[in-house]
Structure 1
Amino acid sequence: MTEEERQNTIKNTVNMLKFVHVEVIQKKYLAQVYNIGVDYAKGIYDGLPKKSFEWSEVEKLAPDAHLWYKEAKFRPSQGERLTGVPPTGTVYN
């Protein structure tokens, strides 16, 4: 992406996320985006007009964001990622 495209993506995301008035949804969304790109998440956070939470809260949530809403027995184990290939062993943990 060019710098202009990056800024447009951040601006467009801010324009929609500002309508979400539930703090936990904003934080969890930013934590997910943090794992995509820290600069991307920070740009969105900085662009939000009203912030009722600190950036450090997003940073604390980010390490576990990829595990939210995923049943533990269906998650990959033993370093497998299950990205387009069949599992090598049993499916359930």
Structure 2
Amino acid sequence: MEGILSTAMEAQLLSVIESKIDEAVAKRSSPDPWANMATREEICERFNIKDTQTIKNWEGKGLKRCVSPYVDTKTIVYDKREVAKFLGYDNW
């Protein structure tokens, strides 16, 4: 029995499937976007700050908090790079 698709169509279909698999693998192996996030407590610990209220005060002076993709979470997170830049550091 002959194939349902022509050889050219099979090759084209195979190419599309391979590219979709490659995209999925790339997404799966990409770094965790939350790896660069820190909570108020983590920021306080990293920079030896005694009270999380200080971080809240920084928000009033321009530090931006990140919105969590999880609807029911109350945890506030910040981009580590933005915190370091806000404080005048080159790196976290």
Q: Report the TM-score when normalising by structure 2.
A: 0.23
Structure label with greater radius of gyration? 2
Q: Report the TM-score when normalising by structure 1.
A: 0.23
